[in-house]
Amino acid sequence: MYVAVKGGARAIENAHAWLAEERRGDPGVAELSVAQIRGQLTLAVDRVMAEGSLYDPDLAALAIKQARGDLIEAIFLIRAYRTTLPRFGAAYPVDTGAMACDRRISATFKDLPGGQVLGPTFDYTHRLLDFKLAAEGETPPAARAEPDPAAMPRVTEFLNQEGLIQGEAHIDTSPPDLTREPLEFPACRALRQQALTRGDEGFVLGMAYSTQRGYGRNHPFVGELRVGTCSVEMEIPELGFAIEIGEVELTECETVNQFAGSKTEAAQFTRGYGLVFGHGERKAISMALVDRALRWRELGEDDSGAPAQDEEFVLQHADNIQATGFLEHIKLPHYVDFQSEVELVRKLRAAVREAPDD
Amino acid sequence: MTDDLREYNFAYLDEETKRMIRRALLKALAIPGYQVPFASREMPMPYGWGTGGVQVTAACLVPEDRLKVIDQGADDTTNAVSIRSFFARTAGVATTERAAEATLIQTRHRIPETPLREGQILVYQVPIPEPLRFLEPRETETRRMHALEDYGLMHVKLYEDIARHGAISTAYAYPVKVAGRYVMDPSPIPKFDNPKLESAAIQLFGAGREQRIYAVPPYTQVVSLDFEDHPFEASKPDHPCALCGATDSYLDEVITDDAGARMFVCSDTDYCATRQAGGAA
Amino acid sequence: MESQSLTGGFSDPPVMSARAFRAALEAMARPGTIQRIEGAEAPAPLSPAAATLILTLCDGGTPLYLTPGYDSAEIRAWVTFHTGAPLVARDAARFAVGPWAALAPLADYAAGTADYPDRSATLIVECDALRSDGARLTGPGIRDAAHLALPEIAAFQANAARYPLGLDFFFTAGTQLAALPRTTQVEAG
């Protein structure tokens, strides 16, 4: 006689045990420490923090270890943990103009106050596998310069002084919080940027790339890209004043984009803006391009029908945790819906067979 | 895992989140079939695996509850097992496989065969809450259609089905109109289950990824959309259950050998087991 | 007075608010039925039922209107300490609490929009007692008909006529709770 398959609970437990074994890998090879991941896979840690929307390198490193290096799975672990954290308050907006920069470049000016600082970049490396790394040799220390105490003013501020770039309205009200309120359309720019900064790097990159190839082109220049640390300040109600509660590494990109103007309005460049946790240049630049593309309405441009201009399309599909969950859920049993379709198809086929030829 | 979860709040979610969900649930009951936006939280299980249902259940559970979780009608499917153990750990509630004994049932894709009664809550996991979504992908557009009670697009779709296939070709997630106003997606239950949407129990629907909660209060009119000359039919495979002999239950088709031999058995495992044990289901 | 504002909250918030919410859910799902709800004690004249409902549903994100007679320093302090709900005028309120006569005019409260009918106020009507007689109620949540003594009929008829817009009501007295969503059709009993 037929007996339905049972034992779901036991199967799950065994699968989890096997998973833990696979994660550990060959026990003859030393186990990775969280500190090693944090210290040596920093760009992976940064991506997990950025898309996990939680600035904590130790937790991100732990998540990467637990996820066997699957960064989307690691981001998911961080997001699920983040939800459970109580909120003590909101920090002041960080002042990226006062960033202690490790890297700061502009593609629009050859030289500028504060200078071009290449910093730790892959940009001019030759992408040749370095077999010395396989030999686990120590890396010689890099040359060091004394930090330049000169300020690094924002590039867009130079343009702003001349009125060459459109100014941004200063908004005093608190921005809405994507993680506490349901997404609603049309979404304000602050909300769009939240969705982009925690959006999937690959998705945002693809959207940005599509604008460069003509699907909503907006002629971007990297006005400035800066990577460094910013202090985070928060007002403590009991104290009545703000104190520094820590610092975060950030990557910021401001693009200078195609100008707008008419016979009555003087021509001005426009801006796109990207900001992510950690060192994430690809993501920050992509975000700036997509941010700019989504601003077509407020800047009086035409909707060319490009995907990157479509706020609902971009925002509803940028989140890799939503996307991967829904995509992978089709692994779950669907016998019931499938059965109902099978039955319908059988019925429709029978109806065709029985129908008199005409 | 067990010990990790004990450190979280009762029923996992923090109180602020539960209040937000509870407010949404009350408005959902007050506007049957209307999708209330809610700030869905990231849960420790993936989107698409019941996060909406889990959040609704978490907001409703009391320690006295007896929880049943089913997926495809069965209590022992892996995801049902996983969700049931999640609440057994985080809320310490008793669990059961008996629909008649449960006070709260979380379900994916089925409504139990045993008629539900007052004092019971049925929580549905919903993947795509918007019944118009596959006809119009834009939220701004579908929201306007609901506001204007403009469901012409849905009727055109159903009518085109009839023109092409001679019948409405929607077999599950069959759209309904609730209390004469809102068109609602009943989640991907087979259309066989649609008549059970008029129930004595409270029915709550949670869509986590899509951030929507909706509800059907008890004794509320739920009409499956149809046409006079093509009336709605709650169909199922035309067989009795091979295990319990039931002719009134929804059936899974099971392939039993390499030659493609097959049999049909109840999808509702509790209903089938109760009948096999000789008890009244 | 100061000490009174600090007491009367839930001794076990997750469990007590869960039980209170289930009572509210049953009440809203089955209009006219009378549920028992308790757990919170607030300064008079706020009833235990209304106080429990406020602790269960209100927080910093839900502006609350206190009617004359309820807008006292003691109740304000209690609500603020236990929920953090901003105290506001009728038109900005998500929740309002007070006796029927003091809650009027109903036209001042948000009734939702065509796009978002859920963005409407919920009124907690403090009563002397709840009785299952009087007005005849029909609609979603009610099998045949239910009866509930209501402070008046016309206002609830007008509210239901705006469906899907409209206000939703809880009625509280002592530890009793009943509800009347906008879907309920009300006739003199």
Give yes or no for B34 touching C (CB within 8 A).
yes
Do A167 and A253 reside in the same domain of the chain? Answer: yes
In-domain check, residue A90: no
Which of B30, B144, B182 is facing C182, going by the closest CB pair?
B30
One of B33, B50, B52, B73 is an active-site residue; which one? B33
CA distance B50 to chain A (A): 9
> What's the burial of A117, exposed, middle or buried (CB within 10 Å: 0-12/13-18/19+)?
middle
Query: What integer is the mean pLDDT of A160-181?
Result: 87
Q: What is the pLDDT of residue B281?
A: 43
CA distance C134 to chain B (A): 22
C-alpha to C-alpha distance for A248 and A152, rounded to whole angstroms: 18
CB proximity under 8 Å: B 183-212 to C: 200, 202
One of B53, B60, B208, B244 is an active-site residue; which one? B244
Rounded to the nearest integer, the mean pLDDT of chain A is: 90
CA distance B212 to chain C (A): 12
B232-272 pLDDT, tens digit per residue, is 999 888 899 999 999 999 999 998 888 888 899 999 999 99
Residue B69 — pLDDT band, cuts 50, 70, 90? Answer: very high
C9-50 pLDDT, tens digit per residue, is 999 999 999 999 999 999 999 999 999 999 999 999 999 999
C75-103 pLDDT, tens digit per residue, is 999 999 999 999 999 999 999 999 999 99
Tell me whether residues C14 and B10 touch, CB distance under 8 A.
yes
B18-41 pLDDT, tens digit per residue, is 999 999 999 999 999 999 999 999
Query: What integer is the mean pLDDT of C150-158?
Result: 97
CATH of the domain at C17: 3.40.50.11310
Do A175 and A225 reside in the same domain of the chain? Answer: yes
- CA C96 to chain centroid, in Å, comes to 7
A198-257 pLDDT, tens digit per residue, is 999 999 999 999 999 999 988 899 999 999 999 999 998 888 899 999 999 999 999 999
Q: What is the pLDDT of residue C77?
A: 96
> Side-chain half-sphere of A9: how many Cα atoms within 13 Å?
7
Do A59 and A186 reside in the same domain of the chain? Answer: no
Report for B164-173, C3-12, C97-106: range of highest mean pLDDT: C97-106
**What are the chain C neighbours of B15 within 8 Å (beta carbons)?**
13-14, 17
Do A42 and A157 reside in the same domain of the chain? Answer: no
Look at residue A8 and tell me whether its pLDDT is greater than 90.
Answer: no
Tell me whether residues B219 and C143 touch, CB distance under 8 A.
yes
CA distance C141 to chain B (A): 4
Task: Please tell me which residue of chain B has the smallest CA distance to C19.
Answer: B62
C-alpha to C-alpha distance for C127 and C121, rounded to whole angstroms: 19
**What are the chain B neighbours of A324 within 8 Å (beta carbons)?**
46-47
**What are the chain B neighbours of A9 within 8 Å (beta carbons)?**
76, 81, 85
CB proximity under 8 Å: B 124-183 to C: 143-144, 147-148, 179, 181-182
Do A178 and A280 reside in the same domain of the chain? Answer: yes
Its domain, for residue A295, covers 96-120+145-324
Task: Name the residue with tokens 């004249």.
Answer: C45
Query: What integer is the mean pLDDT of B50-56?
Result: 96
Rg (CA), chain B: 19
Tell me whether residues B22 and C56 touch, CB distance under 8 A.
yes
Residue B2 — pLDDT band, cuts 50, 70, 90? Answer: very low
Strand, coil or helix: B58: helix
Query: What integer is the mean pLDDT of A39-54?
Result: 98
Tell me whether residues B188 and A336 touch, CB distance under 8 A.
yes
Rg (CA), chain C: 16
Residues found in chain C:
189
In-domain check, residue A140: no
Active site residue B60: no
Q: What is the pLDDT of residue C85?
A: 97
Rounded to the nearest integer, the mean pLDDT of chain B is: 93
Its domain, for residue C33, covers 4-187
In-domain check, residue A276: yes
C-alpha to C-alpha distance for C133 and C129, rounded to whole angstroms: 12
Tell me whether residues C118 and B182 touch, CB distance under 8 A.
no
Which of B40, B81, B173 is facing A8, going by the closest CB pair?
B81
In-domain check, residue A166: yes
A74-102 pLDDT, tens digit per residue, is 999 999 999 888 888 889 999 999 999 99
CA distance B108 to chain C (A): 22
Do A77 and A101 reside in the same domain of the chain? Answer: no
Give yes or no for B11 touching C (CB within 8 A).
yes
Report the number of distinct structural domains present in chain C: 1
**What are the chain B neighbours of C139 within 8 Å (beta carbons)?**
179
Tell me whether residues A83 and B138 touch, CB distance under 8 A.
no
Angle at A128 between CA A127 and CA A129, to 5 degrees: 120
Tell me whether residues C141 and B20 touch, CB distance under 8 A.
no
Q: Outline where chain A has alpha helix (H).
A: 8-24, 34-40, 42-52, 57-66, 71-83, 131-134, 155-161, 189-197, 201-212, 281-294, 311-317, 320-328, 335-354
In-domain check, residue A136: no
Farthest-apart Cα atoms in chain A, separation: 91
Give yes or no for B36 touching C (CB within 8 A).
yes
Which of C19, C26, C118 is facing B31, going by the closest CB pair?
C118
CB under 8 Å, gap of 24 or more: what pairs does A350-356 form?
A351/B166, A351/B167
Q: What is the pLDDT of residue A2?
A: 55
C119-132 pLDDT, tens digit per residue, is 999 999 999 999 99
Task: Please tell me which residue of chain B has the smallest CA distance to A333.
Answer: B72
Q: Residue C90 corresponds to which amino acid?
A: R
**What are the chain B neighbours of A339 within 8 Å (beta carbons)?**
190, 237, 250-253, 267
Structure tokens at A142: 């890099």
Strand partners, B212: B37, B207
A114-154 pLDDT, tens digit per residue, is 889 899 999 988 999 988 888 877 788 888 777 666 778 88
Do A74 and A191 reside in the same domain of the chain? Answer: no
**What are the chain B neighbours of C14 within 8 Å (beta carbons)?**
9-11, 15, 18
Residue A358 — pLDDT band, cuts 50, 70, 90? Answer: low
Q: Provide, for chain B, the percentages of residues in helix, strand and coil under a 3-state DSSP scheme, each rounded to the nearest 5.
A: 30, 20, 50
Report the number of distinct structural domains present in chain A: 2
Query: What integer is the mean pLDDT of A275-290?
Result: 98
**What are the chain B neighbours of A327 within 8 Å (beta carbons)?**
48
Do A180 and A315 reside in the same domain of the chain? Answer: yes
Q: What is the pLDDT of residue A134?
A: 86
Query: What integer is the mean pLDDT of A304-321?
Result: 96
Q: What is the pLDDT of residue A351?
A: 85
B132-152 pLDDT, tens digit per residue, is 999 999 999 999 999 999 999
**What are the chain C neighbours of B36 within 8 Å (beta carbons)?**
118
Do A198 and A158 reside in the same domain of the chain? Answer: yes
In-domain check, residue A346: no
Active site residue B266: yes
Do A177 and A295 reside in the same domain of the chain? Answer: yes
In-domain check, residue A338: no
Q: What is the pLDDT of residue C1?
A: 47
Tell me whether residues A180 and B39 touch, CB distance under 8 A.
yes
In-domain check, residue A340: no
Tell me whether residues B72 and A341 touch, CB distance under 8 A.
no
Q: What is the pLDDT of residue B1?
A: 42
Torsion over CA: A206, A207, A208, A210 (sign): positive
Neighbours of chain C (3+ CB pairs under 8 A): B
Using a CB–CB cut-off of 8 Å, the residues of C that contact B are: 13-15, 17-19, 21-22, 24-26, 28-30, 56-59, 61-62, 94, 114-118, 120, 122, 139-143, 163-164, 168, 181-183
Do A209 and A316 reside in the same domain of the chain? Answer: yes
Task: Please tell me which residue of chain A has the smallest CA distance to B38.
Answer: A182
Do A159 and A243 reside in the same domain of the chain? Answer: yes
Low-confidence winner among A336-350, B217-231, C69-83 (lowest mean pLDDT)? A336-350
